[in-house]
């Protein structure tokens, strides 16, 4: 059998052939148009930025009639924009298109200037002439199977469409490109392989990736919570830090040592991110991890059946009137679980293990910064004013909402201020950069101080 031949058309020529019936896009077995606005938008941007579109597969009858075997939705989407008055939606990403604009000078000479155009809410007719021309002249590649009949065309349609498109979770993950490598490493951990109750189907459909990003969002940015996985990935890609993913990885490695067959079903596709966030809060208590395992067992066997929140609801009833991903539902579940956990551990309130007034902070500074007591007593007010005073380091260098501002992190920050005065080095530029890249801290304040100190020395 002869190999299929290749044929390249301009966009205008290709779409005109469809309009004229030379290329048919309605084969009997071809599926209906299934693309959404986002897919159409992305295809149009691809054309206007001269990026790559895979070849359209055609089947040719002996009478020269062409039928689309693969690429029917692409062809229909392009036709809708070119001839169907399709308006690019406001939700489009990368809506600013750069191009060369033709300008006539006073002496009638033509020059080409750099220009930009926002295609948001625009139809083809609203494009500048230069972008219309760019669209019409785009090169469409086709591969044509010759000597076809209806049977062969249907066979090719089945062959070229025998694939599974990306689902919502898998597509959302493409927006996390800055941290995708971290996520892939985390997915290889024993927690996701052996110590959770996700099915193999859920794993192949991107459920584990979703759990990871939901947990990091819930742990570090609950105030900015997004219901859609795509929006979480976009937020974390812009605002997340390596330290947050490293901390998550450390947490699940600790959980691998304490989760049992009896309790691993708690870490399911629905509730995993809630309990993983709870464990992150547990780590701040500086209690042996085995106690969290004890709590999980007690929760599963008894506490899950206790009406523990202010409305007298069971844990599994909190989301009965709202979606499981509503921010209010997540906060209510976490508050209930944290309350039950602290009561189980015999804590009346969330403890502050690292600082209880300036006395313990001074002791922390004496032990870790190694300055004499008289100097500390003389300069302590200076340290406090430098960190917390009007236009102090907290206000200048750390954005509102950062977990670095937590009261439990105060000893580390004050110790860094004391170190800066001891060595005569300024912290402003370093802390601004550090706060940008680290939005959380190590609960153990000594370890956290050493981590900050080493980072500062590397920065210097």
Question: Per-residue pLDDT tens for 397-409?
Answer: 998 778 888 878 8
Confidence at residue 431, expressed as pLDDT on a 0 to 100 scale: 94
Cβ proximity of 335 and 347 under 8 Å = no
Confidence at residue 128, expressed as pLDDT on a 0 to 100 scale: 95
Q: Has residue 140 got a pLDDT over 60?
A: yes
Nearest partner of 364 among 426, 423, 449, 442, judged by Cα:
449
Confidence at residue 356, expressed as pLDDT on a 0 to 100 scale: 38
Confidence at residue 31, expressed as pLDDT on a 0 to 100 scale: 53
- Express each pLDDT in 276-321 by its tens digit: 999 999 988 888 999 999 999 998 888 877 776 555 667 766 766 5
Percent of the chain exceeding pLDDT 70 equals 91
pLDDT tier for residue 27 given thresholds of 50, 70 and 90: low
Confidence at residue 118, expressed as pLDDT on a 0 to 100 scale: 94
Instruction: Give mean pLDDT, residues 49-71.
Output: 91
Q: Has residue 357 got a pLDDT over 60?
A: no
Predicted model pTM: 0.57
| More confident call, 351 vs 146 | 146
Confidence at residue 276, expressed as pLDDT on a 0 to 100 scale: 94
Confidence at residue 322, expressed as pLDDT on a 0 to 100 scale: 61
pLDDT tier for residue 29 given thresholds of 50, 70 and 90: very low
- Express each pLDDT in 330-352 by its tens digit: 888 888 888 889 889 887 555 44
Q: Has residue 57 got a pLDDT over 90?
A: yes
Confidence at residue 168, expressed as pLDDT on a 0 to 100 scale: 80
Confidence at residue 355, expressed as pLDDT on a 0 to 100 scale: 38
Instruction: Give mean pLDDT, residues 81-100.
Output: 91
Q: Has residue 220 got a pLDDT over 70?
A: yes
| More confident call, 316 vs 390 | 390
């Amino acid at each position: 059998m002869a190999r299929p031949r290749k044929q390249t058309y301009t966009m205008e020529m290709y779409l005109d052939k469809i309009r004229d019936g030379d290329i048919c896009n309605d084969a009997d077995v071809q599926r209906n148009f299934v693309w959404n606005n986002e897919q159409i938008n992305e295809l149009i941007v691809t054309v206007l930025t001269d990026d790559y579109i895979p070849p359209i597969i055609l089947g040719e009858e002996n009478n020269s009639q062409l039928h689309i075997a693969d690429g029917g939705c692409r062809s229909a989407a392009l036709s809708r924009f070119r001839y169907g008055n399709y308006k690019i939606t406001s939700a489009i990403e990368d809506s600013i298109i750069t191009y060369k604009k033709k300008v006539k000078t006073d002496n009638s000479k033509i020059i080409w200037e750099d220009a930009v155009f926002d295609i948001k809410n625009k139809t083809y007719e609203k494009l500048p002439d230069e972008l219309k021309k760019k669209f019409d002249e785009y090169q469409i590649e086709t591969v044509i199977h010759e000597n076809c009949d209806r049977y062969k065309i249907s066979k090719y349609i089945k062959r070229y469409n025998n694939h599974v498109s990306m689902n919502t979770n898998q597509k959302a993950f493409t927006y996390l490109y800055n941290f995708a490598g971290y996520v892939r490493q985390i997915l290889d951990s024993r927690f996701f392989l052996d110590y959770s109750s996700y099915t193999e189907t859920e794993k192949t459909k991107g459920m584990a990736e979703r759990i990871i990003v939901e947990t990091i969002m819930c742990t570090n940015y609950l105030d900015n919570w997004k219901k859609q996985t795509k929006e979480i990935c976009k937020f974390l890609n812009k605002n997340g830090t390596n330290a947050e993913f490293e901390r998550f990885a450390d947490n699940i490695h600790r959980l691998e040592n304490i989760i049992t067959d009896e309790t691993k079903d708690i870490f399911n596709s629905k509730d995993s991110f809630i309990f993983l966030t709870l464990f992150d809060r547990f780590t701040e208590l500086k209690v042996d991890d085995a106690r969290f395992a004890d709590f999980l067992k007690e929760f599963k066997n008894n506490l899950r059946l206790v009406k523990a929140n202010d409305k007298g609801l069971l844990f599994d009833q909190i989301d009965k009137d709202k979606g499981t991903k509503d921010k209010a539902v997540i906060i209510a579940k976490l508050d209930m679980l944290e309350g039950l956990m602290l009561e189980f551990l015999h804590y009346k309130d969330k403890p502050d293990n690292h600082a209880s007034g300036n006395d313990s902070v001074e002791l922390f500074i004496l032990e870790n910064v190694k300055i004499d007591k008289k100097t500390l007593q003389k300069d302590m007010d200076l340290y406090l004013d430098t960190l917390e005073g009007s236009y102090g380091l907290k206000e200048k260098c750390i954005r509102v909402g950062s977990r670095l501002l937590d009261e439990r992190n105060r000893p580390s920050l004050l110790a860094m201020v004391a170190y800066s005065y001891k060595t005569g080095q300024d912290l402003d530029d370093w802390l601004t950069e550090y706060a940008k890249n680290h939005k959380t801290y190590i609960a153990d304040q000594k370890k956290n101080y050493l981590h900050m100190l080493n980072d500062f020395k590397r920065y210097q």
